[in-house]
Chain A
Amino acid sequence: SYVLTQPPSVSVAPGQTARITCGGTNIGSKSVHWYQQKPGQAPVLVVYDDRDRPSGIPDRFSGSNSGNTATLTISRVEAGDEADYYCQVWDNTRAAWVFGGGTKLTVL
């Protein structure tokens, strides 16, 4: 089965840039979607199709995907960005949607 690997945690100071990676075999050939989940809340889509943002998501959130790594980049990080972030792809070999294990973003 297709596996997505995320770092368990990332820490960044306010105003700096956070980069959260999502590794998978030839993930660059897939579309990667990213979700933000704050404590006690449902997930929220922040990036879809590698780099597109839903309406209402600040342009501080951006995505890229190439080779074996997709990356969610959060610029000018704010305290309110502190959350768990999950990447997701569709595994066409099993007709299954796969999530990464999640990354906890801590704003120092």
Chain B
Amino acid sequence: EVQLVESGGGLVQSGRSLRLSCAASGFIFNEYAMFWVRQAPGKGLEWVSSINWNSGNRDYADSVKGRFTISRDNAKNSLYLQMNTLRTEDTALYYCAKGARGVISYYFDSWGQGTLVTVSS
């Protein structure tokens, strides 16, 4: 059974940094692309970042580009999101998701329960 467990969220002041982690199990981690998706309180889903199996390709939403860095440690079956220069609009529940390769693009076939990041002014 696929399990994704996020951690590292919390309350932080605007301008500070936070590092999220996602511990993966139940699948061969180093064979899959991984993703971060966030959801602001009462709002919809927003893709944040993605990383391919060997970290050779990383993509970011325009809203976080230059401030967030995605990484992974395949030896530890772990995904990370380093978030710098946080803004109040980054307040959200951050989900880790496993990618599955579709006909044209990846989709997200398993999700964690999320970790809450609250950025105060």
Contact = CB atoms under 8 A, between A and B. Distances in A.
B29 interface: no
A101 interface: yes
A98 interface: yes
Contact of A48 (B45, B61, B109, B113): B109
Interface stretch (B68-76, B79-87, B98-106): B98-106
B45 A102 contact: yes
| Interface residue tally on A, bucketed by range | 20 to 34
Interface string A66-108: 0000000000000000001010111010111111111000000
Interface stretch (A9-17, A18-26, A29-37): A29-37
A95 to B, nearest CB: 5
Interface string B104-116: 1111110111100
B44 A42 contact: no
Interface of A: 1, 30-31, 33, 35, 37, 42-45, 48-49, 54, 84, 86, 88-90, 92, 94-102
Contacts of A30: 104-105
B112 A96 contact: no
Nearest to A40: B113
Interface of B: 35, 37, 44-47, 50, 59, 61-62, 95, 100, 102-109, 111-114
Given A42-B95, A42-B112, A96 B46 contact: no
A101 to B, nearest CB: 5
B45 A49 contact: no
Contacts of B112: 42
Given A31-B102, A31-B105, A97-B35, A42 B113 contact: yes
A33 B102 contact: yes
Contact of B107 (A42, A88, A102): A88
